[in-house]
Structure 1
Amino acid sequence: MPIKKSAKKYMRVTERKTLRNKIVKGTFRNAIKKTKENVAASKVAEAQELLKAAIKALDKAAQKKVIKKNTAARKKSRLNAAVKKLALKK
């Protein structure tokens, strides 16, 4: 446990930031998961709508520096490729 007052404050701040980051991560992970499920089920329209939501969530996470912007770009690219591949099959 921290002894100094500033260390105690830093611990509280870190706890708040960690909680905020978990919420943001959960948001984009759920969006990605739902998109992948719809791609696997060959639901083109739903997958395209959920892709938009996933991209929005990833951009927000990158903007808040929860994930790096290249990580967000890579995840968006892979999701987009999967949805496009599905759309071309139909």
Structure 2
Amino acid sequence: MARSPCCEKQRMKRRAWPAEEDEILISYVKIHGEGKWRSVAQNAGLNRCAKSCRLRWLNYLRPGIKRGYITKDEEDLIILLHRLLGNRCENL
């Protein structure tokens, strides 16, 4: 079984997401949950590829995403953890 072609071969939308599509995606994920992104794109009525829906949710629409500048406390924590752990932490 081969996967169906990506968005460029199926004439799917490749433009900015309008607010209406954001609302459709948000309401669909609230009802059905995250995951199964191929079915989200088809069942929600969005003419978008699964990858586009997944990335839109994860990077912009998901609740709890913090945007903007980091605080001084967050910066201090990052510096402290880097001093303790370095660039890699193989024990985690």
- Give the TM-score category using the shorter length: under 0.3
TM-score (norm 2): 0.24
Larger radius of gyration: 2
TM-score by length of 1: 0.25
Structure 1 or 2: more helix by fraction: 1
